[in-house]
Structure 1
């Protein structure tokens, strides 16, 4: 899978940027959901956690691609 991602032009830097963007987007999703949804704080927390869980996946793929690139 890592080889396929590399062949399609993805590099470790792309995955690291996606991981850090995911952290920022999770905070934004949490804030927007908390303010505009009427479902309450629990729903806002779930949105923030859902998006925030993508970060370790992207960073892990970044590490795998970095190892493959060497």
Structure 2
């Protein structure tokens, strides 16, 4: 996701330059294209952080579960005994 975020920054600049130089619509349209594609970068970075947090959280949960002793119903004693 981080790679996609950095790539979208480059694609934003490239789309702005291409629109500015190749389309007769003018600088306003080029600006809109650059801003449109440029907004992808924060989305990709946020998704990268979310995935990183999810992977970190899952790993910690598995470690915690692995440290707990396995208790079955047969080994439990009634509260009064």
User: Could you tell me the TM-score, scaled by structure 1's length?
Assistant: 0.78
Q: Any idea what the Cα deviations from partners look like across 1:22-66, whole Å, max 9, x if unmatched? A: 000000000000000000000000000000001001000000000
Kindly report the root-mean-square deviation, in angstroms, between the aligned alpha carbons of the 2 structures: 0.4
Structure 1 residue runs without a partner (length 5+) = 1-14
Aligned length: 56
Flag the structure with more relative contact order, 1 or 2, with Cα contacts below 8 A and sequence separation at least 6.
1
Question: Partner residue of 1:42?
Answer: 28
Following superposition, the deviation at residue 69 of structure 1 comes to 1.1
| Ranges of 4+ aligned residues in structure 1 off by more than 4 Å | none
Structure 2 residue runs without a partner (length 5+) = 57-81
Structure showing greater Rg? 2
